[in-house]
Structure 1
Amino acid sequence: MNLPLLYTFPISKVTTSILIPPLVTFLIAFLCASGGVSGAFLLLPFQVSIFGFTTPSVSATNHLYNVFSIPFGVYRYWKEKRFFLPLTLIIILGTLPGVIVGYFLRISFFEELKRFKLLVGLVLLSIAMRLIYEIFAVKKEIRFSSEPPKTLIFNWKTLKFVYSQEIFKLNSFLITFIAFFIGIIGGIYGIGGGALMAPILLAFFRIPAYVFAGATLAGTCITSIVGVIIFTLGGHQPDWLLGLLFGIGGALGLFFGARLQKYMPQKLIRIIITAGVLFIGYNYVTSFFKS
């Protein structure tokens, strides 16, 4: 079948219709936006398996997709006053140094990633088991509230806020500490951290996606900006045009997906996040046993 507007991208050497990249990312981002995830974890295997883009530049291109697309989703949450800045700050405080450490670990200690990937995959599957349990165990989910979270306490030790008439209390340092390690994983693998942070906040801290979605997207965006810079300086620049086309579709998907989120029940969002974590965990574990 002849695809219209066929083009060969100069850096990745991928040959496809210029309509395919934005269409794929629109669908991915639209599905994932409600959970505070950009969908980059689905885009990476698509690039590798379908496009045959397997050089280190594929990770840089994945980061570039986040850089172009995420601001539109974050803007939607911010415009609707659903962007929770205190949570965003404590996440970014951890992921930013983490991704830098992760990149240098990647080029020095983790040339062979199979065992480390197996460990991360097993951790993700354990998180997925917790999420699956809560899908059935949680009888009363948090309802969406048009009132934004109201901060009661915010310092380096504690974040306490009210949302939907319920009080939530987090250890700020612990969230930043977790975000630091998620940033390291992002630096090692070349992925954003939203797909890891979102399920942890949902499964173990019981924070509703209506509160953390904008924050995890913003954290992923910051991680990816640093990722693009580091990969480019390291001689593995992204495919700029392909990343831009991915970003156009992702921007539209995240924008409209974020807008739709307030109409989605928390249980449906929980199922979407669980499916994403299962996908990543399964692929990481099975890749260990492949030659």
Structure 2
Amino acid sequence: MYFPVADINVHPMVPPLVAFAVSFFTSMGGVSGAFMLLPFQVSVLGYSSPSVSATNQLFNIVAIPGGIYRFIREQRMLWPLAWAVVIGTLPGVFIGAWVRVKWLPDPKNFKFFAGIVLLYLGYRLVLDVLKGSKGKGMAANEGNRPSVGQAEFSMSTISFEFDQDSYSVSTLKIYLLCFIVGIIGGIYGIGGGSIIAPFMVAIFGLPVYTVAGAALMGTFATSIAGVAFYSFLARYYPGVSVAPDIGLGLLFGLGGLAGIYMGARCQKYFAPRTIKMVLCFCVLFVAGKYILNFFF
């Protein structure tokens, strides 16, 4: 099947199947799957124009609602953190989209920078896994489903209770982190919240069960803004493929919708350490690929 905007030929079953497999595992840690689908599109499908970023964000819009629904239904959506992620990442997403089209149609140098950042993040996650911090797994008891309780938001602090423990994080630090990550997400089309979850787990020490839903919500909201802004920029760059490939994005999105829903549903059966290991793999895989592509 030929996709004119992407200018590629691919069997129509390949995008949804790949998206389902990737999204099932990554969604457990709050990563939509777009994080891994970008290298797949660039390296396997040969789709590397700026519009691949917009197509990846279109995938998020279609794929994420199922996962959000599961987190809300099971009362595991940390709303103060979710809104903080949305507010913090939106400005960064707009800046990132503009930088991608204007300055980085071939983002080799920025991929190297992003690879270094992600490599450090992966290193932090690996150390956390090797420490053997198992946490309170919910897999052993299907009936044990802790929910977020007494969540509070202020200009200085976001605090909440989860599984009989209290957590607190600086609101300003969340905004700053989300703004920076939003720029990266806007450039590569992985959504502002796509790489928020690993940072919050590794740096702020927040439980992955609560971070996942907030990160997905942030990714969904910022992806809508990203697709709209890329489509707007397409009017001013007629010689460059900027707007998303609707057909390809929908196929990826449909597979991701099923994968994220199942991943969010099955998350409670996996120990936190297992989910962190999945995040480690995702982060280190992309980091290694970006760094190697800079030299070869």
Q: Tell me the TM-score normalised to structure 1 length.
A: 0.92
Whether the 8 Å contact between 1:77 and 1:83 is mirrored in structure 2 is yes
**Residue number among 261, 274, 278 corresponding to 2:280 in the alignment:** 274
What is the rounded CA distance, in whole Å, between the counterparts of 2:199 and 2:288 in structure 1?
Answer: 17
Higher mean displacement: 31-40 or 119-128:
119-128
**Residue number among 240, 244, 250 corresponding to 2:246 in the alignment:** 240
Shift of 1:13: 2.9
- Residue 239 of structure 2 aligns with which residue? none
| Structure 2 residue 137 is the aligned partner of structure 1 residue 143 | yes
What is the rounded CA distance, in whole Å, between the counterparts of 1:142 and 1:115 in structure 2?
Answer: 41
Whether the 8 Å contact between 2:27 and 2:263 is mirrored in structure 1 is yes
What is the rounded CA distance, in whole Å, between the counterparts of 2:75 and 2:188 in structure 1?
Answer: 33
- Residue 153 of structure 1 aligns with which residue? 152
What is the rounded CA distance, in whole Å, between the counterparts of 2:3 and 2:104 in structure 1?
Answer: 30
**Residue number among 8, 17, 21 corresponding to 1:14 in the alignment:** 8
Closer, same or farther in 2 for the Cα pair 1:22/1:126, shift >3 Å? Answer: same
Q: Partner amino acid for 1:10?
A: P
Q: Deviations over 1:171-224 (max 9, x none)?
A: 011111100110011122232233421111111111111101111011111221
What is the rounded CA distance, in whole Å, between the counterparts of 1:284 and 1:51 in structure 2?
Answer: 17
Partner of 1:38, secondary structure, is coil
Whether the 8 Å contact between 1:14 and 1:51 is mirrored in structure 2 is yes
How many residue pairs match? The answer is 284
Q: Tell me the TM-score normalised to structure 2 length.
A: 0.90
- Residue 114 of structure 1 aligns with which residue? 108
Whether the 8 Å contact between 2:116 and 2:291 is mirrored in structure 1 is yes
What is the rounded CA distance, in whole Å, between the counterparts of 1:113 and 1:24 in structure 2?
Answer: 24
- Residue 295 of structure 2 aligns with which residue? 289
What is the rounded CA distance, in whole Å, between the counterparts of 2:105 and 2:2 in structure 1?
Answer: 30
Shift of 1:78: 0.9
Q: Partner amino acid for 2:115?
A: G
What is the rounded CA distance, in whole Å, between the counterparts of 2:257 and 2:20 in structure 1?
Answer: 7
Structure 1, gaps ≥5 residues long: 1-6
- Residue 226 of structure 1 aligns with which residue? 225
What is the rounded CA distance, in whole Å, between the counterparts of 2:21 and 2:183 in structure 1?
Answer: 28
Shift of 1:120: 2.1
Shift of 1:156: 1.5
- Residue 167 of structure 2 aligns with which residue? 168
Partner of 2:137, secondary structure, is coil
What is the rounded CA distance, in whole Å, between the counterparts of 2:206 and 2:130 in structure 1?
Answer: 17
Shift of 1:111: 5.7
- Residue 4 of structure 1 aligns with which residue? none
Closer, same or farther in 2 for the Cα pair 1:62/1:140, shift >3 Å? Answer: closer
Whether the 8 Å contact between 2:88 and 2:178 is mirrored in structure 1 is yes
Shift of 1:45: 1.6
Structure 2, gaps ≥5 residues long: 139-143, 235-241
Q: How big is the alpha-carbon RMSD for the aligned residues of Structure 1 and Structure 2?
A: 1.7
What is the rounded CA distance, in whole Å, between the counterparts of 1:136 and 1:54 in structure 2?
Answer: 36
- Residue 200 of structure 1 aligns with which residue? 199
Closer, same or farther in 2 for the Cα pair 1:119/1:52, shift >3 Å? Answer: closer
Q: Partner amino acid for 2:205?
A: R
Partner of 1:237, secondary structure, is coil
Q: Deviations over 1:38-93 (max 9, x none)?
A: 11121112112222222222111111101110111111111111111111011111
Closer, same or farther in 2 for the Cα pair 1:45/1:139, shift >3 Å? Answer: closer
What is the rounded CA distance, in whole Å, between the counterparts of 1:271 and 1:202 in structure 2?
Answer: 12
Q: Partner amino acid for 2:30?
A: G
- Residue 254 of structure 1 aligns with which residue? 260
Shift of 1:17: 2.2
Partner of 1:22, secondary structure, is helix
Runs of 4+ in structure 1 over 6 Å off? none
Q: Deviations over 1:207-243 (max 9, x none)?
A: 1111011110111112211111111122222111111
